[in-house]
Amino acid sequence: MPTFKLDGRSIPFEAGDTIIKAAWRHGIEIPHYCWHPGLSAPANCRMCLVEILPNPGQRPITLDVLAWNDASHEYTTTQKPKLQPACRTAVTEGLDVLSDSSEHVRKARRDVQEFLLLNHPVDCPICDQSGECKLQDYWLEHGQFKKRMRDEPVHKPKAVEFGETIVYDGERCVMCTRCVRFMAEVAKDPVLDMRERGNLNEIVVAPGRRLDGHYTFMTEHVCPVGALTTKDFRFKARVWFLRSASVVCQGCATGCNAYLDYDPRHNKAYRHRPRDNARVNDFWMCDEGMLTYKEAHEGRVLGARLRGVEIPVAQALDQVRALFGGVSSSAVAIVLSAEHSLEDNWALHELGTKLLGTEGVFFAARPEGYEDDILIHRDKNSNTRGVRSVAPEAKPVGELVGHVESGRVTHVISLGSTALVVRDILARATWLSLAAHEGVLPELATVVIPVTSWAEHSGTYVNSRGLRQVSDKALEPQGESKAAWKVIGSVAAALGHDASWRSLRAVRSELLGIDEGGATRPPSSSAIDEGGATRPPSSSPEGVPL
Amino acid sequence: MESLDRELEQGELELPADPVHLNMGPSHPAMHGTVRIVLELSGEIVTKADVQIGYLHRGFEKMCERGTWAQVFPYVDRLNYVSPMLNNVGYALAVEKLCGLVVPERCQWYRMALGELARIADHLTCTGAMAMELGATTPYLWFIKAREMIWDILEEETGARLTHSFGRIGGMASPPSPDFAALCGAALPRILETVEEGEKLLLRNRIFLDRLQGVGVISGADAVSLGWTGPCLRATGVAYDIRKAHPYLKYDEVDFDVPVGHAGDTLDRFLVRLGEIRQSKRIIEQSLLRMPTEGPVNCDDPRMVLPEKGEVYTTIEATIRHFKLIMEGSKVPMGEVYSYTEAGNGELGFYLVSDGTGTPYRVRVRPPCFQVVGGLSRLIEGRLLSDIVPTFGSLNMIGGECDH
């Protein structure tokens, strides 16, 4: 691989890379506002200026500048190297670039930073970006100056509603145009643009339009400062109190990688942020997916119920023993869920087919919906392919109706909450529902036992392209809920069976075809990506697909 | 119930031959702190003493690992809570050593003056309480009256009488008040006067002297081998004072003596502390003379020191600086350091490890009285039960720093 030199260090690059991108790929950050790895580079923030040393024998490109001479008390002409934007300069073999080590670069950054803060309001205490703001970071890293301007700053529109989701603050804006470029280049809806010049610059929505569509949250996410804020997160939390867990979005079968930001003090989730993954979602997520964090708290089943009456979980298990004990295996059916993780589905499948000996295996799923060619998949379940790989024989839950109606199936154990089914008929069966959220299945069930949502346990999900992805635990289990695979173990014990799985590690090693000795067997389903099937999911710290 | 006037045959009555076990503390009016001593007595002679500490253990070192570096100050206040200012300064110096920071000269003199005030308060409390534990309540009240004068000054300077949390990385929370020198100048002679009055009540008192002289004797070699420092070590004749041996701040530029004892007994420890009060007075007077009245108290390093509050409210640059320091804390360079100062009881050491973040990776304290209390049992074994009270009092165990 060809290399170039950055501050004397040898850095490899790929053909077509700019300096900033090659450094970024190598884990070195050259300070920047307007550049974003997923967008075009307008080179308008001037924060990434670097000094490029001339080739041997070549004359350096210099500028004449006026510098104050303390001795003679006048401005004298001196020369300084012409700095280049690292986001627009292509790397060539052997290029010698100075970044942190150049005095001129450091001064340029400091001056750019000073200009950016010239008219900036004293908003940190009321700004949602505070704590993850590039203006704050770079002031401490590259600025450290005090205010020199004593004039009234330029005032611009504040709290401008761009649409249903986004609010704009002109005074905080550094005019990097990332939001403009995101809407034009990624969302393919050039609805934002810039108006006026110089310090009257502001971002505006196209006349007659609102900022809408399925990717408005991303404009806030790409904003390096607090100019764009989402109405959803505005004034809700201070980011330095939040912790992040690497999760997989549950909104659709794309399985976008995300961070779930939560406050451990209140066990409460506050937002999703996209997590970069070039194989799934690049840097982006859709609005619907960003808002699925709310499902960690909304509409949750938090306690066990017997025919609609709340009872302790231990009593519910006693009821399961009374209702399901001694039922012949052919009269029992299980319903897997495309909303739940591989682990949960595997445990239920194991209980149904191995321990109870049933052949009635069905699966429930959310109905299909909107799709586009950017990220949004029409399958609104996070793990449809996962369920298919665990139980290739599983039939849609709609087919269960006939079995119940004819009386062949009298007892059902289901996972998940959503299904498009004929409730009245299914309600004739004795139904045990293991559900995280309220929905059709827990409503029609005889006994409901709460299980945790994706946010409260670590689980594996297979997306529409067959990538196995691990979603980490963020919150502590709410109410009386426990991970479904654990609850299924308790149900097995209540029915007099000995569940083979005791730990998440055990479930996963079964799932991956790896026994405790570490020897590998071929994965049980060809649907699963061959490349990662032999690696345990927990070994991928960033949740990169396997 | 058996009748009490049952006739006993005198010949059958036997006194127990086994040693008596007595539990002294942890909560006992004559104990100088919350500590438990399990004693084995033969008559009134202590044959064996098992000193058990830990009743004030709060997991201080672990608590430091969850906040920022600056948030450790309130914790160190509560180490030796009789002289919190010395702990504040000691911790600040340790972090500054790791960062390679040197505070402005004005701050160095200010820290010395405040620290020596705290040392006087510490010694007044120790000697006064020791007298009180022997039944001499009046001198205690005298000494506490003198301590009140110091606390009034510290309250004027810091806003708090006991736990000031006044130290900062790279400076102090605020510059000296305009009246600081005048307050000290007025109070110090009165403090000395009061101390002398209190002394007169004790040092001409035969009973008091008898209970101290030749009690709790330790040799210099033994004290050194136990790791003793501070007044307890100096009472044995070893003139080791960190302010002289390894000067920090401006201690090498001031003129003061190191009082030492010769017998290493309880009386010497009592007298060394009273001598140090006078030396501290000298240091304070010299510091006040040499402390510049103008100029910065804090370093001007935006990565370490908070900006002026007025600027925080009016300029974005200072707001950002404030936010970065509060949200993430001062980023202390990766590395480890051991820094030590002379606190009220001796060498107060901080061993700090930084992983380069705003939160301490490890804060290890070497509290001076931990080693001193380690020698207690050998001081009291073979002595009378009643000797425990003055001996233990003279060691000045402070649970807050000892138990960690």
Classify residue A300 by its DSSP letter. Answer: B
Nearest C-alpha neighbor of A511 from the set A475, A458, A465, A473: A458
Nearest C-alpha neighbor of A115 from the set A235, A198, A219: A198
**Which of B309, B324, B357 to mutate: most A Cβ within 10 Å?**
B324
pLDDT of residue A418: 85
Each domain of chain B, given as residue ranges in start order, spans: 52-402
Q: Does B302 touch chain A (CB under 8 A)?
A: yes
Nearest Cα of chain B lies from the Cα of A154 at a distance, in angstroms, of 14
Contact B320 A144 (CB under 8 A): no
Contact A124 B314 (CB under 8 A): no
CA-to-CA distance for A521 and A123, rounded, in angstroms?
Answer: 58
CA-to-CA distance for A69 and A210, rounded, in angstroms?
Answer: 53
What is the architecture of the domain spanning A160-296? Answer: 2-Layer Sandwich (3.30)
Q: Are A542 and A246 in contact (CB under 8 A)?
A: yes
Q: Which residues of B touch A139 (CB under 8 A)?
A: 317, 320-321, 324
Q: Does A265 touch chain B (CB under 8 A)?
A: no
3-state secondary structure of B111: helix
CA-to-CA distance for B7 and A149, rounded, in angstroms?
Answer: 102
Q: Does A150 touch chain B (CB under 8 A)?
A: no
CA-to-CA distance for A526 and A540, rounded, in angstroms?
Answer: 21
Q: Which residues of B touch A155 (CB under 8 A)?
A: none
- The model's pTM is 0.85
Contact B311 A147 (CB under 8 A): yes
Q: How many helices (H) and strands (E) does chain B have?
A: 17, 8
Q: Which residue has the higher pLDDT, B385 or A422?
A: B385
B307, B308, B310, B312 alpha-carbon torsion, rounded to 10°: 10
| Per-window interface: A 120-139 vs B, CB < 8 A | 120-125, 130-131, 135-137, 139
Instruction: Split chain A (546 residues) into runs of 10 and give each run's mean pLDDT.
Output: 92 93 94 95 93 89 90 91 94 93 94 94 94 94 90 93 95 95 95 91 94 95 96 94 95 95 95 94 94 94 93 94 88 93 93 90 92 93 92 90 89 89 82 93 93 94 92 95 94 90 86 46 37 36 38
Q: Does B317 touch chain A (CB under 8 A)?
A: yes
What are the phi and psi torsion angles at A52 (to 5°)? Answer: -105, 120
- Report residue A48 as tokens: 């990434």
DSSP codes, B44-63: TEEEEEEEE--TT---HHHH
Query: What superfamily would CATH give domain B52-402?
Result: Cytochrome-c3 Hydrogenase, chain B (1.10.645.10)
pLDDT at B2 over 60: no
Confidence of residue B354 (pLDDT cuts 50, 70, 90): very high
Q: Which residues of A touch B321 (CB under 8 A)?
A: 139-140, 144
Classify residue A372 by its DSSP letter. Answer: -
DSSP codes, B113-168: HHHHHHHHHHHHHHHHHHHHHTT-HHHHHHHHHHHHHHHHHHHHHHS-SS----EE
Q: Which residues of A touch B318 (CB under 8 A)?
A: 146-147
Match 């304290």 to its residue by tokens: B365
- For residue A161, count other CB atoms closer than 10 A to its CB: 13
Confidence of residue B10 (pLDDT cuts 50, 70, 90): low
Q: Are A229 and A167 in contact (CB under 8 A)?
A: yes
Instruction: Specify the pairing of strand A360-364 against strand A332-337.
Output: parallel
Supply the ipTM of this predicted assembly. 0.85
Q: Are B83 and B151 in contact (CB under 8 A)?
A: no
Nearest C-alpha neighbor of A457 from the set A433, A469, A474: A474
**In sequence order, what are the beta bridge partners of A30?**
none
Each domain of chain A, given as residue ranges in start order, spans: 3-116, 160-296, 304-539
Confidence of residue B12 (pLDDT cuts 50, 70, 90): low
Give percent of chain B with pLDDT exceeding 90.
80
pLDDT at B404 over 50: yes
Sign of the torsion formed by the C-alpha atoms of A515, A518, A521 and A525: positive
Alpha-helix runs per DSSP H in A282-326: 287-291, 313-324
Q: Which residues of A touch B314 (CB under 8 A)?
A: 122
CA-to-CA distance for B396 and B231, rounded, in angstroms?
Answer: 10
Distance of CA A400 to the CA centre of its chain: 35
Q: Which residues of A touch B316 (CB under 8 A)?
A: 117, 120-124, 147
A464, A470, A475, A477 alpha-carbon torsion, rounded to 10°: 90
For B149-195, what is each residue's pLDDT tens digit? Answer: 999 999 999 999 999 999 999 999 999 999 999 999 999 999 999 99
DSSP codes, B11-37: GG-----SPEEEEE-SS-TTSSSS-EE
Contact B323 A131 (CB under 8 A): yes
CATH 3.40.50.740 fits A304-539, yes or no: yes
What is the architecture of the domain spanning A3-116? Answer: Roll (3.10)
